[in-house]
Amino acid sequence: MRAFRPAILSAFTNYGRADFSADLLAGITVGIIALPLAIGFAIASGVAPQQGLWTGIVAGAAVALLGGSRFQIAGPTGAFVPVLFSIVAQYGYGGLALAAMMAGVMLIAVGALKMGRLLKFFPYPVVAGFTSGIAVIIFCGQLNEFLGLGLKMPEHAPQQIKTLALHLRDLNWYALATGALTLAIVYLWPRLIKRVPASIVAVIATALLAHFAGWPVATIGSRFGELPSGWPGWHFPAISLDSMRQLMAPAFTIAALGAIESLLSAMVADGMAETRHDPNQELIGQGIANILSPLAGGIAATGAIARTAANIRNGGRTPVAGVVHSLVLLVVALVAAPLVSYIPLATLSAILLTVAVRMAEAHTFVELWRGPRSDFGVMVTAFGLTVVFDLTIGVAAGLIMAMVLFLRQMESVSHIRLVTPESEPEGTGTHSMRGKDIPEGVVLYRIEGPLFFAAAENLEQALRGSGGTPKVVIFRMRNVPAMDASGLHAFRIAIEKLRRDGVKIFLTAVQPQPMKVMFESGLVSWLGEQKFCADLDDALASVRLALAKPKSAD
């Protein structure tokens, strides 16, 4: 476990008063920014507002203390909203808590197995597609409170749009005005004063306006009652094998989303601050956070890109800023919770609408349209299925499409060709056929590209097209960087067929990874180490010796 070291352990080298002041100011600022988001995402996920607060408190502190990034700010995020809402609707909060804890265990396992770096290979078109799909889902889901309709909304975005259209005549103009004022403040306030978060200004201004003007708008207090002050108590979900079996798929979705978003957030932070995070430790920290959060009545959490970026922009230097951010939310939960009850729901909805617009990143559609059409198709598929059905279907379909396209591309760069001195490119040296005496009955094949299951058929076709039965076949493998089990299986079958026909087999310049695969599978000992040659000259010398021996000597 020596390899797993939280970032905070190395954050205090040459740490001084100026660094603490910077972390303190950044933590307070981010805590204020996180307040309406934590509450808003909790409500959008189908749970009580205070549960979002405690998620930000517990998960934020756990990730800051145990994560692998110096700047990560964790808490409820928009990516989880459709997933958590669906879980709550089907299994209740108890099911959500158990799913979050199971996801936490999965994240710890992935980090402990040092698989964190593998997640950076998650296809960008899939990430862009489901992220934009989530943005549309959040946007549609928040229009209900933004318009003051107060409807019980269906689960999926298309049905939500239909429901909203049928009830537009009942919109609350006061709620609409409250939301519009919030949007105006969020977009215009930063042009005046950047140091004071626009979202908290909007919350205070609209809460005061609605309260003192007596506007008939729904507030957190009118919908959920006054938020309780004090500690949340101990929450431990009921655990059974049946419930764990039912929640395995949702837990996996939470873990996958949490891993992807937290590592994306850490990568953004590295780009802004020119640092490097430890992805495995980050996943371990995120896993512990998701186990602890439900124990305090919270929900699933992950690294928040916008809040992490705000931390860096406001001068945060170490994980201390993340801890301060959690302490700010803790003060609100313990002391100022009753004041939160005055916040209009239309205000929170407007803030989440701005989050959805930023998440959508419409420019990615243009970027991918200008690139390969196949990547654009993957993104549109992931986006459309996420919006119409759900996130799991959208991500699964996008991944399958991306995998199939990848295999087609890899197959196109894998070639097995019959080579002759005439087809050999100009060149000299131990790997070139030019100017070399090739004995009669000796056939050479050049294999290029990775030899894996998608390229196995190419091998069979190339051998069938050679014509006749040669005395010796030399496989030139200098350009084969990798081989998988399916490629090895096809290669072994091809060699067995050739050997049954009395053909002698030699291989040249086998790269380390294919050599390791063939050695561990027993192919090297079965074929004979002397059949593996360093280059073509070495192989031709071995061929002449083999041809000079009686057949029984092979």
Q: What angle do CA 364, 370, 376 make, to 5 degrees?
A: 60
Averaged confidence pLDDT in the chain: 87
In this structure, CATH architecture of domain 415-553: 2-Layer Sandwich (3.30)
More confident residue, 451 or 101: 101
Phi, then psi, of 479 in degrees rounded to 5:
-105, 25
In this prediction, residue 91 carries a pLDDT of 94
Cβ-contact 231, 76 below 8 angstroms: no
Determine contact, residues 45/80, Cβ cutoff 8 Å: yes
How far apart CA 147 and CA 163 sit, in angstroms, is: 13
Please identify which residue in the block is written with the tokens 């050479």: 444
Which has more confidence, 184 or 119? 184
Q: How confident is the model at residue 453 (pLDDT cuts 50, 70, 90)?
A: low
Q: How far apart are the two ends of the chain, measured CA to CA in Å?
A: 51
Handedness of CA 485, 491, 497, 499 (dihedral sign): negative
**539: enclosing H helix or E strand:** helix 536-548
218-222, 353-357, 481-485, 512-516: which has the minimum mean pLDDT? 481-485
Nearest to 215 by CA among 183, 180, 169, 164: 180
In whole angstroms, how far apart are CA 16 and each of 12, 65, 70, 193?
8, 19, 16, 28
Query: What is the per-residue pLDDT for 465?
Result: 55
Q: How confident is the model at residue 28 (pLDDT cuts 50, 70, 90)?
A: very high
Angle at 148 between CA 334 and CA 91, to 5 degrees: 60
Confidence of residue 430 (pLDDT cuts 50, 70, 90): low
Q: Which of 308, 318, 322, 325 is nearest to 12 (CA)?
A: 318
Q: What percentage of the chain exceeds 90 in pLDDT?
A: 44
Where residue 370 falls among pLDDT bands split at 50, 70, 90?
confident
Least confident residue range of 87-91, 350-354, 412-416: 412-416
Domain ranges for the chain, please list them.
17-404, 415-553
The answer on pLDDT for 456 being more than 60 is no
The neighbour count for residue 331, using CB atoms within 10 Å, is 13
> H helices of 389-474, where?
391-412, 456-464
User: Nearest 5 degrees, angle CA 432-CA 435-CA 437?
Assistant: 100
> Residue 175: which of 195, 147, 200 has the closest Cα?
147
Name the burial class of residue 191, with classes exposed (0-12), middle (13-18) and buried (19+) by CB atoms within 10 angstroms of its CB. exposed
**Coil, strand or helix at 232:** coil
pLDDT at 421: 64
Structure tokens at 554: 């092979």
Pairwise CA distance, residues 36 & 348, whole Å: 7
Among 232-241, 266-275, 543-552, the minimum mean pLDDT is found in: 543-552
Task: Tell me the percentage of the chain whose pLDDT exceeds 70.
Answer: 92
What confidence category does residue 347 fall into, taking pLDDT thresholds of 50, 70 and 90? Answer: very high
pLDDT at 25: 92
- SS3 of 67-98: the string is CCCCCCCEECCHHHHHHHHHHHHHHHHHHHHH
18/547 Cα distance (integer angstroms) = 80
Kindly state the average pLDDT of the residues 437-461: 74
In sign, the C-alpha dihedral spanning 215, 220, 223, 228 is: negative
Structure tokens given for 171:
């919109």
Given a cut of 60, whether residue 214 has pLDDT beyond it is yes
Q: What is the pLDDT of residues 482-521, one digit of tens each?
A: 888 878 888 888 888 888 888 889 999 899 999 999 999 9
Q: What pLDDT was estimated at residue 553?
A: 47
Closest CA to 275 of 304, 323, 308: 308
